[in-house]
Amino acid sequence: MLKYKLLWGGLFHKKLRLILSIIGIIIGVASLLLMNSFGESAKIKTLKEIETFGPEVMMVVAGNVKVRAGRAIQTEITTTLKPSDAKVLMEINGIKYISPVFNGDGIVRYLRNTLITIINGVNEEYIKLRKFPLVEGRNFLKEEVLGYKKVAILGYKVKKELFGNKDPIGKIILINKLPFRVIGVLDKIGIDASNTDQDDQVLIPYTVAISAVYNVDYIRSIYLSVKDISEISKIEDQINKLLMKRHKVSEKNKDFTIIKAEDILKVKTQTTRIFSVLVKNVSILCLLVGALGVTAIMTLSVNERKKEIGIRKALGAKEKDILFQFLAESIFITMLGGLIGILIGILGALIFLPLFNYPLIFPLGPIITSTLLTIIFGIIAGVYPAFKASKVDPIILLKQGF
């Protein structure tokens, strides 16, 4: 009973020192759990983004485009990609869906509600190849696209901002002062692989977009999907040769870029993996620093408590009793800090993951890892101080008069 009183008495004798030791462990464990949650959440988010831009999808983009950090960035813009290019590509065997695309900013109004959003001019196949779900209404008809009909499909956020909980189907909205009839509403989609919020958009026929809304004779891109993914490289080569011939350009001065979903997925996955490895290493380093802090403080505690150790050994305490006392103290500090760190890490994930639009997950692996590392580092942190304490010679202390 006495040794347990000595244990708790030694621990709480220097309260500030105890608190600082625990804080070091808390920071390490909380950062380990929080950063791992961000890493795992980022992986899930990336896979979700790719769902509407599957491996069978390709883009032909006007100008020069580079994929950086998983995002297609246009570095050079041209006006040489035409709707007729999309019609010619339709003839290639193996293409399942294809859609010309023209996008630009637009002012959308309904009664007193006004917002600025992205207007995407597409055809009736665009929703199918992007796998966009409709929550209300219907898709475009081919006749509406070819007949220059002013109809619109609203993104989820646009519908909420303009109509709230009211039914928008059949209502007339103004896009850049032109009247459009709402025929459909997209379900929640979120951010896609191109880092664009697909809920903040309005879809209209591309024929109307280029002729009436923006008054141009070109398109910005062509989206297409293939029937067989194994044929994607072959189809890419056909598209490349066909458009170079039509545009009278060579490989060196091409005025278009072909981007595969595979290119975006590869870069995004690599970026996510690097981020995950980095945060894990940094978090483990933080935990290691916290454990070293415990080691330093426990060593200092041994030096200050030599009198207590000497008296205990003089009264018959064995080396293993002293070893157990200081090892137990260090494990208690790290476990207490680890428990608080896990709770703070979970709380941080609850706050910050939704704040940055990441899916809320609590991976079991990082929690188990944090617990095991805390125990291991706690034992490591206490071994040297405990060993040093067990080797204190009470006879020397008695001769020195403490």
List, for residues 130-152, the tens digit of each pLDDT value.
Answer: 989 999 999 999 999 999 999 99
Q: 73 lies in a domain?
A: no
User: 94 and 164: one domain?
Assistant: yes
pLDDT of 330 above 80: no
Residue at 138 is within a domain = yes
The residues, any chain, with a CB within 8 Å of residue 319's CB and separated by 6 or more, are: 390, 391
Task: Read off the pLDDT of residues 227-245 as tens digits, 9 standing for 90 and up.
Answer: 998 898 899 999 999 999 9
130 and 100 fall within a common domain: yes
Q: Are residues 98 and 238 in the same domain?
A: yes
Tell me the C-alpha to C-alpha distance, in Å, between residue 227 and each of 51, 84, 98, 385.
Answer: 16, 22, 11, 67
Question: Are 119 and 227 members of one domain?
Answer: yes
Q: Based on the domain organization, do 367 and 247 belong to the same domain?
A: no
The Cα 285–Cα 269 span in angstroms is: 24
**CA angle, 389 then 26 then 281, to 5°:** 100
Domain boundary, last residue among 220, 254, 288: 254
Q: Alpha-carbon distance 126 to 131, whole Å? A: 8
Q: Which of the listed residues 254, 281, 312 is the one where a domain comes to its end?
A: 254
Do 392 and 361 share a domain, yes or no?
A: yes
Domain with 204 in it = 79-254
pLDDT score, position 367? 65
The answer to whether residue 260 is domain-embedded is no
Local confidence band at 401 (pLDDT 50, 70, 90 cut-offs) = low
Quote the longest CA-to-CA distance of the chain: 106
Residue 5 has pLDDT above 60, yes or no: no
Buried b (16+ CB within 10 A) or exposed e, 195-216: ebbbbbbbbbbbbbbbebbbee
Asked whether residue 122 is assigned to any structural domain, the reply reads yes
Are 243 and 338 in the same domain? no
The mean pLDDT value for 165-172 works out to 96
Number of domains composing the chain: 2
| pTM, to two decimals | 0.64
Say whether both 304 and 173 belong to one domain: no
In terms of phi and psi (left: phi > 0; alpha: psi -120 to 50; beta: otherwise), the region of 70 is: left
Residues 320 and 290 in one domain: yes
| pLDDT > 50? residue 70 | no
My answer on whether 285 and 241 are in the same domain is: no
> 379 lies in a domain?
yes
Q: Are residues 187 and 321 in the same domain?
A: no
**Domain final residue pick, 201, 231, 254:** 254
Which carries the bigger pLDDT value, residue 7 or residue 137? 137
Tell whether 286 is covered by a domain.
yes
Are 189 and 157 members of one domain? yes
Residues with Cβ < 8 Å from 191, sequence gap 6 or more?
45, 49, 197, 198, 357
Structural domain contains residue 314: yes
Give 315: exposed, middle or buried? Use CB within 10 Å, 0-12, 13-18, 19+. exposed
Is 151 within the bounds of a domain? yes
CA distance 308 to 306: 5
Query: How much is the pLDDT for 194?
Result: 63
Is a pLDDT exceeding 70 seen at residue 193?
no
